[in-house]
Amino acid sequence: MSGMHIVKIGGSIITDKTKPLTFKKAVVMRLAREIKESNEEIILVHGAGSFGHIFADRYKLHEGYKNDEQIEGVVKVQRDVKTLNMLILNTLIDAGINAVSISPSAIVKCRDKKIVEMETKLFKDYLGMGIMPVTFGDVVLDKKLKFCICSGDQLMLHLAKKFKPEKVIFCTDVDGIFTFDPSVDKNARLLENADTDLLKSMLKMGKSKSEKIDITGEMFGKINTIMEISKIGVGSIVLNGNKKNRLKEALTGQAVKCTRIGGIKGE
């Protein structure tokens, strides 16, 4: 076992985003076994996928409080993401991992969609007992907007600042960060190594809608998060969680097809 890692499993690989409340148990069980076999100390974050996005979009929860009808959306999204979290927790425990759930709605407060309070000592205390904390994208209280969506990527950044892990790993449904969106351009090239200057220029091109670069909305936000994480001296890996053993290889410091950003401690 080396240093501690923070791992984010995206909603796109643990749920079917096109079908409400569709859990990909076989995928989560494989990832759980890879985590178990790595024997590394981990904080796990997961996305909401089809358990959160559908009602969040329907009730426009990303805009904050506009009317009382949204309150029904808040409670439905909180219910559904906790349902997904429990499915994941059960799978982790079935794979032999001692894991506990930490719900952001109970420990996080935001102001204007940014985390301003988060009880992180819970994570440290559970890690000290050899228990893996598991948290997730959720709807939380917001001091300005009444409520807001707190994404898994926001949690990754806040936890990385607090714990300074050996590395953070983003498990997505693509092999890493590409020069173009690989789902629409067959000439897209995987960036095996990227520094913050390159990422910054990619974001600028994406904002100007240049034909030279096309970053998907999801990856666009992730790049912003990764750049913030790199500022605190923590390296990131973006890999394809749908490919067998890539997570385990990344956790144990092996060569793996991915994008690496910043220096990784111990490598």
Instruction: Note the pLDDT of residue 208.
Output: 44
Q: Based on the number of CB atoms within 10 Å of its own CB, is 108 exposed (0-12), middle (13-18) or buried (19 or more)?
A: buried
Asked if residue 244 belongs to a domain, the reply is: no
Q: Assess whether 45 and 17 both reside in one domain.
A: yes
Q: Based on the number of CB atoms within 10 Å of its own CB, is 223 exposed (0-12), middle (13-18) or buried (19 or more)?
A: buried
Asked if residue 247 belongs to a domain, the reply is: no
Q: Assess whether 200 and 103 both reside in one domain.
A: no
Q: Assess whether 158 and 66 both reside in one domain.
A: yes
**Tokens in use for 136?**
């997730």
Q: Assess whether 46 and 161 both reside in one domain.
A: yes
How many Å apart are CA 154 and CA 173, to the nearest integer? 19
Q: Assess whether 185 and 160 both reside in one domain.
A: no
Instruction: Note the pLDDT of residue 159.
Output: 98
Asked if residue 126 belongs to a domain, the reply is: yes
pTM: 0.92
Q: Assess whether 184 and 104 both reside in one domain.
A: no
Residue pair 198/205 in contact (Cβ under 8 Å)? The answer is no
Q: Assess whether 26 and 156 both reside in one domain.
A: yes
Query: How many distinct structural domains can be found in the chain?
Result: 2
- Residue range of the domain that includes 71: 5-165
Asked if residue 246 belongs to a domain, the reply is: no
Q: Assess whether 113 and 199 both reside in one domain.
A: no
Q: Assess whether 123 and 213 both reside in one domain.
A: no
Tell me: the pLDDT tens digits for 116-134? Answer: 999 999 999 999 999 999 9
The C-alpha angle with vertex 247 and arms to 178 and 128, in degrees rounded to 5, equals 125
Q: Assess whether 141 and 181 both reside in one domain.
A: no
> Which regions of the chain are under pLDDT 50?
208-217
